[in-house]
């Protein structure tokens, strides 16, 4: 991606600004001034001097919100959407996902990364934490750099695999490779790209690999330890059989839980595990669609929030969702808790924060992104809330429910990351839509022949 010239000034004039700052300020009659990659100031609409800017985007029909942040996705799996239906987690991995991921080559991985990043950006997601796959980790990281998106990715670590024998590597190879990848990619792309150390889950990693990875991570400040935990009953039964401990108790016993660890799912956790999550300040990535589709269960999110445990949202992989839409996850995350805990819980504002500023906090990038505040990076989304399926009220009280319950990715009009437009008026400035879809179809055909 081309670097923009130094001192480039863009002015966006929106209908209103939903900031997601500490007091949930909603700003009206103000434009946002962006200089290079940052939000520089708010300018009263009646004091705008258009000649001062390289670009003035008059978006008085659109609402400006922070870019969404997804804390658990699988770019490598997007190509397999629709090919792994109606199975529970371990069967889904054994029969479909591990064989598919094992058949990736450079080309198929590149196009699945492109399709994923495109879908995420077109849907308003500007930052993600990706689980990666076993091989060719550099392909995904390079595509992230080239696309202009912000995010974390890394090689997915697997050194034991009873579910699919071919899909693994040796402990030593894994350790050498992640050190190299982290050295080459952590803090690249003008700081947009960070490395995430990604053991797949307890059942696919030796204790040595889990521990050594946490050690290596110390050499890369700002990186994340990203794994799956306590997703399905079959999985935790197997963990109990092997280690005589609950999943999160096991992670704690080997010293990998802290505030830079993100655990996807945490559907089935004991009271002691909840205490550990709280005491260690470990982050949970909640993926309600995937939990429902794989029949895993409903995570005790209300309890986690009550305890002050960090909960953020991710769409997980396309084959267990089957979308990468943050809007689906926001809506479901709220709705599935209400029949259990009553209508007061998981209000739209809480959910909106989970998908923006709380996501940034979980990944320790909240000084840079997650809200619209002066000095922060310009990761911004313009959303149209004047469609047939949105609220007819312009009152502030309906704004969050309008985004969380009434909107879909179709409402997203323009997306900026790091001060650069990536989607403008529903057109991607990075990817040719038809080209990546036809490339995706072709590479999927080739991949299926390699099974």
Which of residues 264 and 447 has its CB atom nearest to Zn ion in the complex?
264
- Asked if the bond preceding 322 is cis, omega within 30° of 0, the reply is yes
Which of residues 78 and 371 has its CB atom nearest to Zn ion in the complex?
78
Considering the complex, what minimum distance in angstroms separates the CB of residue 77 from Zn ion? 8
Based on the shown chain and the rule CB under 5 A, indicate whether residue 379 belongs to the binding site for Zn ion. Answer: no
What letter does residue 29 receive in the DSSP assignment?
S
Separation of alpha carbons 175 and 408, rounded Å: 41
Q: Give the strand pairing for 55-66 and 68-73.
A: unpaired
Considering the complex, what minimum distance in angstroms separates the CB of residue 231 from Zn ion? 8
Taking CB under 5 A as the binding criterion, the range among 119-127, 208-216, 261-269, 441-449 that sits at the site for Zn ion is 261-269
Considering the complex, what minimum distance in angstroms separates the CB of residue 315 from Zn ion? 10
Which of residues 317 and 440 has its CB atom nearest to Zn ion in the complex?
317
Residue nearest to Zn ion (CB): 316
Based on the shown chain and the rule CB under 5 A, indicate whether residue 316 belongs to the binding site for Zn ion. Answer: yes
Which of residues 264 and 422 has its CB atom nearest to Zn ion in the complex?
264
- Indicate if the alpha-carbon torsion angle 351, 357, 362, 363 is positive or negative: positive
Separation of alpha carbons 380 and 214, rounded Å: 33
Which of residues 229 and 334 has its CB atom nearest to Zn ion in the complex?
229
Considering the complex, what minimum distance in angstroms separates the CB of residue 292 from Zn ion? 14
Considering the complex, what minimum distance in angstroms separates the CB of residue 402 from Zn ion? 29
Site for Zn ion in 264-283 (CB under 5 A): 264
Site for Zn ion in 121-160 (CB under 5 A): none
| Beta-carbon contacts of residue 133 (< 8 Å; ≥ 6 apart) | 74, 76, 101, 104, 109, 140, 155, 156
Which of residues 159 and 316 has its CB atom nearest to Zn ion in the complex?
316
Considering the complex, what minimum distance in angstroms separates the CB of residue 288 from Zn ion? 13
Taking CB under 5 A as the binding criterion, the range among 147-155, 160-168, 316-324, 388-396 that sits at the site for Zn ion is 316-324
Find the distance separating the first CA and the last CA of the chain, reported in whole Å.
34
Considering the complex, what minimum distance in angstroms separates the CB of residue 285 from Zn ion? 8
Beta strand spans in 172-230 (E): 193-199, 224-229
Separation of alpha carbons 374 and 33, rounded Å: 9
**In 13-105, alpha helices (H):** 89-91, 98-102
Based on the shown chain and the rule CB under 5 A, indicate whether residue 231 belongs to the binding site for Zn ion. Answer: no
Q: How many CB atoms lie within 10 A of CB 182?
A: 23
**Residues that contact Zn ion, how many (by CB under 5 A):** 2
Tokens coding 70: 């997804």
Separation of alpha carbons 220 and 203, rounded Å: 26
Q: Give the strand pairing for 380-383 and 311-313.
A: unpaired
Which of residues 65 and 264 has its CB atom nearest to Zn ion in the complex?
264
Binding interface with Zn ion (CB under 5 A): 264, 316
């Amino acid at each position: 991606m081309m670097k923009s010239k130094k001192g480039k000034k863009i002015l966006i004039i929106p209908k209103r600004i939903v900031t997601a700052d500490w007091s949930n300020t909603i700003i009206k009659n103000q434009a946002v001034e962006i200089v290079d990659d940052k939000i520089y100031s708010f300018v009263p609409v009646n004091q705008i001097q258009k000649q001062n800017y390289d670009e003035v985007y008059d978006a008085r029909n659109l609402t400006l919100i922070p870019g969404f942040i997804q804390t658990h996705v699988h770019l490598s799996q997007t190509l397999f959407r629709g090919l792994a239906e109606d199975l529970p987690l371990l069967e889904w991995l054994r029969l479909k996902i591990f064989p598919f991921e094992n058949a990736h080559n450079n080309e198929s991985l590149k196009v699945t990364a492109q399709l994923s990043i495109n879908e995420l950006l077109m849907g308003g997601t500007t930052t993600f934490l990706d689980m990666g796959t076993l091989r060719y980790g550099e392909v995904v990281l390079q595509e992230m750099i080239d696309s202009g998106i912000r995010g974390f990715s890394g090689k997915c670590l697997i050194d034991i695999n009873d579910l699919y024998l071919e899909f693994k590597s040796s402990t030593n190879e894994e350790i050498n490779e992640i050190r190299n990848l982290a050295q080459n990619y952590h803090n690249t792309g003008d700081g947009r790209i960070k490395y995430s150390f990604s053991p797949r889950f307890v059942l696919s990693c030796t204790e040595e690999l889990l521990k050594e990875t946490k050690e290596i991570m110390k050499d890369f400040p700002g990186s994340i330890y990203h794994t799956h935990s306590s997703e399905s009953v079959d999985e935790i039964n197997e963990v109990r059989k092997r280690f005589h401990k609950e999943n999160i108790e096991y992670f704690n016993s080997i010293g990998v839980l802290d505030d830079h660890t993100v655990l996807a799912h945490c559907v089935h956790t004991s009271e002691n595990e909840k205490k550990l999550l709280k005491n260690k300040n470990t982050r949970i990535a909640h993926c309600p669609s995937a939990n429902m589709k794989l029949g895993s269960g409903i995570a005790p999110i209300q309890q986690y929030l009550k305890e002050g445990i960090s909960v953020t949202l991710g769409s997980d992989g396309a084959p267990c969702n089957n979308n990468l839409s943050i809007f689906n996850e926001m809506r479901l995350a709220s709705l599935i808790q209400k029949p259990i805990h009553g209508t007061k819980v998981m209000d739209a504002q809480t959910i909106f924060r989970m998908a923006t500023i709380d996501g940034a906090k979980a990944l320790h990038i909240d000084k840079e992104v997650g809200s619209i505040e002066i000095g922060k990076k310009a990761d911004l989304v313009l959303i149209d809330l004047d469609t047939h399926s949105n609220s007819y009220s312009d009152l502030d009280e309906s704004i969050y429910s309008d985004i969380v319950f009434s909107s879909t990715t179709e409402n997203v009009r323009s997306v900026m990351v790091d001060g650069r437009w990536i989607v403008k008026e529903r057109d991607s400035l990075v990817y040719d839509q038809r080209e990546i879809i036809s490339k995706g179809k072709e590479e999927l055909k080739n991949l299926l022949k390699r099974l």
